[in-house]
């Protein structure tokens, strides 16, 4: 029987044939696709004289089948995994690492690339082709092409172990999340929780065979509402401790040793390649360029945010004392009293807003916003295979009604899915032989599920999360590059969050909210006074939230900008780093690092600062939409052309200047965040 991963996909738009793929297909498919990719490389090396076309372009287009198979496998390992898939990941990951090293450490191939690179000034190539040439040459050099045979062998072993350790980290966090459940027998213990949250908790308990009880897990839609609304302080403490001791209990799922291993290997790899630290290695290919630039950036925001954060925390502590006589505000108290205070100050809370944010209507609102800005439309297509019944598939069409992309949406938590929200791609956009191969893009979230009596009603934070991930998706779907490695979201890491974060801004605009924010029972459009309250409350606790975000960036940089051999105890190291940003008492046995998947599994190592970096860009860029109108066509087309469609075809600074007419300034963000006077 033919392996469906190796056959031509007989599906709409050559989408992944999820309905045919079984776990046993992956390993043979990867193994054969590696051989096909090796044949592509040999063909390149057999060409007599290296040219841009037969070497640089050919390299970018090599191994396409392997890329598609790998994308399917690793995307499902995040969104729909199980023990068998995780076991396969431990086998497949080293094969792919070895194959990548085989290419990047191939001296004959590197000499061809170097020859073209040395001739670049005499070549008649476009800006995009110049970027591809420079990126290709750097990728070889930055991955060991100039190393001795002995050091190249060391690099191979380091990369193999890095891949395994990163997988192990993620598996441990997922296992810890999945195994925890807290049952409540007495409804009185749920005082303060909205009816919808209680109903969802009862549904979880029923699904786990405990009818008549209420269950709480560490999935966001279960954990966050409990921490926000549960009057029962003991319940909040119990859940807080469970959430913040994930993979930090000294058992088989503990990640402290894995972190040390990852840090040591990353540092060793950077040193081997001639860099002082992993951060120096990473940041060479970022807008920020150096650890010093990142630290200066974070410190500048720290100085502005900390005084305001201290006021924010004291305000909550005073409120808790006044309201309930609470003498010592603990970490599991902060969210609860902060929400009560917000409700008192702004007459606003999530439960007041939820009825206006039915998931299906928010999705429609996101689609309408994209249509008004960029002229694209989304057509549900049930013929496109999906990997889970909860996943929806759409054909995306451009202004002229032509095919633009395939879009998948996956919204609810389940056992085989990691926490959080992300955008990913099953196929990148590229042009080959005059044919534009359009992208297949997906967003994966963990939103509040529907219950027996209510549809999925989102919090405002979930609404902004959906817009955020959809911004990433637009970056992928609107891609108009020639080369897949420069297309869509293949940009500098501290630029990639601009399209996602700028799209969140529309959630605060009446003109946009009026498109979709309608009461799920009455159909009433969200009242203007509620929108005003959302805007007024936008800066609530902004000092504290900024400080928290800065603390994660500082921890990331502390781990990766110096020799990790000095780190003997992860808990002590984390506490020492976080000391200058911690405004609440440290809770014994809790650790953030052991479930900090962004930097130890998700590719954000030495890059967590990029969220705040991109906020500077997004606030500065959105000013233009505010000046011209949030649906102004000229501004939207400029953003599409110079940012969304351009991908990584040129340096992001060049692309940004084309859109805004100048370099970004932090003023708009500082003003928006209330960190400076208006």
| Catalytic (active-site) positions | 469
Rounded Cα–Cα distance for residues 15 and 3 (Å): 15
Paired tokens of 61: 């287009």
**Which is nearest to 436 in space by CA: 479, 379, 372?**
479
CA distances from 675 to 151, 250, 271, 308 (A): 49, 41, 39, 7
Q: In what order do the strands lie in the sheet with 392-397?
A: 377-380, 392-397, 403-410, 440-444, 422-427
Is the alpha carbon torsion for 140, 146, 147, 152 positive or negative?
positive
CA distances from 172 to 2, 256, 418, 594 (A): 35, 11, 11, 9
**Which is nearest to 489 in space by CA: 305, 306, 614, 348?**
614
Is the alpha carbon torsion for 261, 267, 268, 270 positive or negative?
positive
Are the CB atoms for 470 and 435 separated by under 8 Å?
A: no
Are the CB atoms for 573 and 291 separated by under 8 Å?
A: no
Q: Label the pairing between strands 422-427 and 440-444.
A: antiparallel
DSSP string covering 458-492? --HHHHHHHHHHHHHHHHHHT---S-GGGSTT-S-
DSSP string covering 215-282? EE-SSHHHHHHHHHH---HHHHHHHHHHHTTTT-SSSTT--HHHHHHHHHHHHHHHHHTT-SSHHHHH
Angle at Cα 508 formed by Cα 445 and Cα 487, nearest 5°?
A: 50
Rounded Cα–Cα distance for residues 101 and 260 (Å): 24
Rounded Cα–Cα distance for residues 460 and 508 (Å): 10
Angle at Cα 325 formed by Cα 321 and Cα 328, nearest 5°?
A: 65
**Distance of alpha carbon 7 from the chain centroid:** 31
Q: Label the pairing between strands 440-444 and 403-410.
A: parallel
DSSP string covering 504-526? HGGGG-HHHHHHH-B-TTT-PBP
**What number of helices (H) and strands (E) belong to the chain?**
27, 9
Rounded Cα–Cα distance for residues 146 and 320 (Å): 61
Q: Where are the beta strands (DSSP E) in 128-205?
A: 182-184
Rounded Cα–Cα distance for residues 560 and 324 (Å): 43
β-bridge mates for residue 440, sequence order:
406, 427
CA distances from 319 to 62, 323, 326, 569, 647 (A): 61, 6, 9, 37, 47
């Amino acid at each position: 029987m033919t392996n469906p991963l190796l056959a031509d996909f007989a599906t709409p738009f050559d989408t992944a044939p999820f309905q045919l793929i079984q776990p046993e297909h992956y390993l043979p498919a990867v193994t054969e696709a590696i051989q096909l990719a090796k044949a592509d490389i040999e063909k390149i090396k057999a060409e007599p004289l290296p040219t841009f076309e037969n070497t640089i372009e050919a390299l970018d287009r090599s191994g396409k089948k392997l890329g598609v198979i790998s994308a399917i496998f690793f995307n499902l390992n995040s969104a729909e995994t199980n023990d068998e898939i995780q076991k396969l990941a431990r086998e497949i990951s080293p094969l792919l690492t070895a194959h990548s090293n085989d290419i990047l450490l191939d001296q004959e191939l590197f000499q061809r690339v170097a020859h073209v690179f040395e001739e670049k000034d005499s070549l008649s190539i476009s800006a995009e082709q110049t970027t591809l040439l420079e990126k290709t040459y750097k990728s070889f050099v930055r991955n060991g092409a100039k190393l001795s045979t002995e050091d190249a062998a060391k690099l191979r072993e380091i990369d193999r172990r890095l891949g395994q350790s990163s997988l192990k980290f993620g598996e441990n966090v997922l296992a810890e999340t999945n195994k925890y459940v807290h049952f409540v027998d007495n409804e009185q213990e749920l005082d303060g929780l909205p009816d919808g949250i209680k109903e969802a908790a009862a549904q979880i308990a029923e699904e786990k065979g405990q009818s008549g009880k209420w269950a709480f897990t560490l999935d966001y839609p279960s954990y966050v509402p409990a921490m926000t609304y549960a009057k029962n302080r003991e319940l909040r403490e119990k859940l807080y401790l469970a959430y913040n001791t994930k993979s930090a209990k000294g058992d088989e799922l503990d990640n402290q040793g894995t972190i040390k291993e990852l840090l040591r290997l990353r540092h060793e790899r950077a040193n081997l390649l001639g860099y002082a630290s992993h951060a120096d290695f990473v940041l060479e290919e970022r807008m920020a360029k150096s650890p010093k630039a990142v630290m200066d950036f974070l410190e500048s925001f720290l100085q502005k945010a900390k005084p305001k954060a201290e006021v924010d925390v004291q305000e909550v502590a005073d409120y808790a004392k006044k309201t309930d006589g609470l003498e010592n505000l603990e970490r599991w108290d902060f969210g609860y009293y902060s929400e009560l205070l917000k409700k008192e100050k702004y007459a606003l809370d999530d439960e007041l807003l939820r009825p206006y944010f039915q998931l299906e209507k928010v999705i429609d609102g996101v689609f309408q916003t994209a249509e008004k800005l960029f002229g694209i439309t989304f057509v549900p297509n049930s013929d496109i295979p999906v990997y889970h019944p909860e996943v929806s598939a759409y054909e995306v069409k451009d202004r002229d009604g032509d095919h633009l992309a395939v879009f998948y949406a996956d919204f609810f938590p389940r056992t085989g899915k990691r926490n959080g929200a992300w955008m990913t791609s099953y196929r990148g956009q590229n042009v080959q032989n005059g044919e534009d191969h359009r992208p297949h893009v997906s967003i994966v979230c963990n939103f509040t599920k529907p219950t027996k009596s209510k549809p999925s009603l989102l919090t405002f934070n979930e609404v902004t999360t959906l817009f955020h991930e959809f911004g990433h998706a637009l970056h992928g779907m609107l891609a108009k590059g020639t080369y897949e490695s420069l297309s869509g979201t293949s940009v500098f890491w501290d630029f990639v969050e601009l399209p996602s974060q700028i799209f969140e801004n529309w959630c605060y605009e009446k003109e946009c909210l009026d498109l979709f924010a309608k009461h799920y029972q009455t159909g009433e459009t969200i009242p203007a006074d509620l929108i005003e309250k959302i805007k007024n409350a936008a800066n609530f606790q902004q000092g504290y939230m900024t400080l928290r975000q800065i603390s994660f960036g500082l921890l990331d940089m502390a781990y990766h900008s110096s020799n990790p051999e000095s780190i003997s105890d992860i808990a002590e190291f984390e506490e020492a780093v976080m000391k200058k940003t911690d405004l609440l008492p440290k809770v014994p046995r809790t650790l953030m690092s052991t479930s900090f998947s962004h930097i130890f599994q998700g590719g954000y190592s030495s890059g967590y600062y990029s969220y705040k970096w991109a906020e500077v860009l997004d606030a500065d860029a959105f000013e233009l939409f505010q000046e011209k109108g949030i649906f102004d066509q000229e501004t939207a087309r400029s953003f599409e052309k110079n940012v969304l469609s351009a991908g990584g075809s040129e340096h992001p600074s060049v692309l940004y200047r084309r859109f805004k007419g100048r370099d970004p300034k932090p003023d708009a963000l500082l003003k928006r965040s209330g960190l400076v006077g208006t």
